[in-house]
Amino acid sequence: MARILGIRCEDIGALNAMQCPCALNSATADRARRLVALYELLFDVHKGNEVTSYNWLRRANADLEGQPLLLIVDEGRIDEVIHYLASRNTADGPQS
């Protein structure tokens, strides 16, 4: 989580204790909002099934050309993964 948010691992404890080490308009706060958006989309697309969401994040995805979790953590491509999930969550209903 620290790598996604762009903060130190030590700051995660403060974040968990509701003592956010970042300003609401900071880059860290923006990344946190995108992370929440990602998980909301995962919930919708996979109909709340945590196991399916977990597996989707860790399985290679041909459309994204990689494993979504690694794309997010290692390559900073969270916006691309969000866009992909949003396109899967169509008006016809969530798809997996």
Q: Are 15 and 21 in contact (CB under 8 A)?
A: yes
Q: Output the pTM of the full model.
A: 0.76
Q: Are 4 and 35 in contact (CB under 8 A)?
A: yes
Q: CB-based contacts of 26: which residues, under 8 Å, 6+ apart?
A: none
Express each pLDDT in 49-80 by its tens digit.
999 999 999 999 999 999 999 999 999 999 99
Token digits of residue 86: 């949003």
Q: What is the CA radius of gyration of the chain?
A: 14
User: What local confidence, expressed as pLDDT, does residue 94 receive?
Assistant: 45
